[in-house]
Amino acid sequence: MVLCRMKIIIMSEMFIHPSVFFILGGLFIPFLKGRIKKGYMIFVALLAFFAVFIMPYGTYGVYEFLEWQLTFGNVDKLSKVFAYIFTIMGVIGVIYSIQVDNDGELIAAFYYVGGAIGVTLAGDFLTLFLFWEIMAFSSVFLIWYRKSEFSVEVGFRYLLWHVTGGLILLAGIILQYNLSGDLTINHSPFHGWWPTDFQSLASFLIVIGFIVNAAVPPFGSWLPDAYPAATVTGAVFMSAFTTKTAVYALIRVCSGSEILIILGVIMAIYGVVYAVLENDVRRLLAYHIISQVGYMVAGVGLGTQMAINGVVAHAFCHILYKSLLFMGTGSVLYMTGTSKLTELGGLYKTMPRTMIYTIIGGLSISAFPLFSGFVSKSMTVAAFGQEHLMWPFLLLMLASAGTFLHTGLKVPYFIWFGKDRGIKAQEPPWNMELAMIIGSLFCIGLGVFYQPLYSLLPYPVHFHPYTLYHVSETLQLLLFTQLGFFFLIKKLWCENSISLDTDWLPRKSAKALMWFTNNPLSRIEYNIIGEIYEFIIEKPMMRVAYYFMKIDTIVVDGTINGIGRIVMLCSQKMQKVQSGQIQHYAMIMLTGVIILIIIGVVLP
């Protein structure tokens, strides 16, 4: 009986899954050394990008597994634009990390990128879930390979969040399959505030599973906890993929879910506020990921064509400028050994080129004209204005001011132009700088030549970023934010402190649970439940066991021993027959023959 049968159903054109290059290619990394390994890694990443470039629209890699139909290659404009940016980021990230000696970290990064691409091209929920979990279990090693006690603890918390989110997502998928009998990924938005039937419950669980990875509060505390604890190169990869695959999944399945508008706006404000309070620069950037993803989540909730175009463009550009910022600050950590703003300053003298790359990333994320953020993020905000939803429009504009305040001004000031701490540093290795140059060119190039990006978006674009109104509005906002920064710079001074976050409740709850378990509950178990168990179960069972033991030793063992003694007695008697004389043996044989003859005659 065949338990598993897989058969190709559709392969009408040449299709090579881009994630294959990362997932299979990563297996050979430990067997290569030196320049060959570095060249091999870059070559594999470029092959994945080329596979996306030649990838035609359509459905490919469809297999039958048991009673399910799995689709590994669902290629349309939405999936292809995300596959483009994921493979571009794969190339940049690999270039940035080729100096890493730890093969395990490199393999984890390759699997992480491959998982993200697999989610993007999945055409059914089972395939999506498979690659979703590959991402979770590979990315945690990018934290653990920091090899500090703190990073190990953070890694377990990170894994706990993502396993929980994955289980919630799986529950929604199972319920959806039971209702429809189909695993195909279809648009199924959640409307309202709470599920009212099984279909809405399935959509609700799927949304929750996605927004855990999108770091939507109160499910997003894992992000600022994990990214600063990751390795220098690990944080660069992590800044690009987990939250953006969640955004892609939300667009694909949940666009138009009104609750996402509220959650997204809360994210945008929440991330900005906590970023302003932060002293660790990588933790600051992690909070700002939450803020920027908030724009995307809100746009997904709006669900109009312009909003979806804005979300996709913003995700595309955000991966580039956020990774550039993580590469710049990661280079500072790599060369100085610290990422605390209170311990940095005056580095423009020793790391001037890295300073330029970081400032380019800061201007891009602040949506400064002629930079990539200006042509992408503003499209999402404008979509709310077009729909006359003024409260999210105004709050997202306010969050934009906060973005420039901390990432465009605070980070450059305290790292590069603050009080000189006398740190002796130098520019990072050539490969790290090359990766930052590529990221910087993308940030500037997309800000000036934005039409190629707009042509990749899923819907026709009717948005023109460089209008007089939009440019003047943005410059006024940035100018007044800059004035506020310099007027209030003493109030914005960094302090080495800890800010209470949404993880306060689960941490305190876990601590309270452990206290309750180790104290009242354990006493109740020992003094009450244990006594009841001993009186009702343990003592009666011991008494019954005692009687069975008596039966075994007296009856069973007595019978067996008696039979054994009889056999031994018979054996001893038979030994006397063996005299050793041949005439005795002949007489016995003759007697036996005579007995057989008599039996044969007497019996019929």
- R_g of the chain, CA atoms, integer Å: 35
Q: Are 272 and 402 in contact (CB under 8 A)?
A: yes
- Give the pLDDT score at 11: 41
Q: Are 228 and 282 in contact (CB under 8 A)?
A: yes
Can you give the pTM of this predicted structure? Answer: 0.82
Q: Please enumerate in sequence order all residues whose Cβ is within 8 A of that of 431, keeping only pairs 6 or more positions apart, or say none.
A: 38, 95, 96, 98, 99
Query: DSSP readout, 549-576?
Result: HHIIIIIIHHHHHHHHHHHHHHHHHHHT
- Give the pLDDT score at 263: 93
Where do the DSSP E strands lie in 340-466?
none
Q: Please enumerate in sequence order all residues whose Cβ is within 8 A of that of 116, keeping only pairs 6 or more positions apart, or say none.
A: 86, 131, 135, 241, 242, 244, 245
Residue type, 222: W
**Unique residue bearing structure tokens 């955004």:** 247
**Local mean pLDDT, 10-residue blocks, the chain (604 residues):** 37 75 93 92 95 90 84 91 95 93 93 95 92 94 91 91 93 91 85 83 92 90 90 92 94 90 93 85 90 93 92 94 92 86 83 92 89 90 90 88 78 81 84 94 93 93 88 84 73 65 71 77 72 76 81 79 80 67 71 77 65
- Taking phi over 0 as left and psi of -120 to 50 as alpha, with beta for the rest, 5 belongs to beta
How many Å apart are CA 558 and CA 468, to the nearest integer? 107
- Give the pLDDT score at 4: 40
Lateral strand order in the sheet of 8-10:
8-10, 58-65, 68-75
Q: Are 60 and 128 in contact (CB under 8 A)?
A: no
Q: Please enumerate in sequence order all residues whose Cβ is within 8 A of that of 560, keeping only pairs 6 or more positions apart, or say none.
A: none
CA 23 to chain centre: 15
Q: Copy the structure tokens of residue 456.
A: 């990749």
**Unique residue bearing structure tokens 């390994």:** 37
- Taking phi over 0 as left and psi of -120 to 50 as alpha, with beta for the rest, 405 belongs to alpha
Residue type, 290: I
**Unique residue bearing structure tokens 């978006």:** 457
Q: Copy the structure tokens of residue 108.
A: 């984890």
How many Å apart are CA 303 and CA 313, to the nearest integer? 14
- Give the pLDDT score at 10: 36
- Give the pLDDT score at 475: 85
Write 100-105 long-range contacts (CB < 8 A, 24+): 100/231, 100/233, 102/145, 103/29, 103/30, 104/141, 104/145, 105/141, 105/142, 105/145, 105/231, 105/233, 105/234
**Residue boundaries of the structural domains of the chain:** 16-251, 255-497, 507-579
- Give the pLDDT score at 168: 94
- Give the pLDDT score at 120: 95
Secondary structure of 487-555 in HEC code, one letter for each residue: HCCCCCCCCCCCCCCCCHHHHHHHHHHHHHHHHHHHHHHHHHHHHHHHHHHHHHHHHHHHHHHHHHHHH
- Give the pLDDT score at 473: 83
Q: Are 259 and 301 in contact (CB under 8 A)?
A: yes
Phi and psi (nearest 5°) for 275? -65, -40
How many Å apart are CA 392 and CA 398, to the nearest integer? 10
Q: Please enumerate in sequence order all residues whose Cβ is within 8 A of that of 247, keeping only pairs 6 or more positions apart, or say none.
A: 214, 293, 296, 297, 300, 311, 315
Q: Please enumerate in sequence order all residues whose Cβ is within 8 A of that of 450, keeping only pairs 6 or more positions apart, or say none.
A: 372, 375, 465
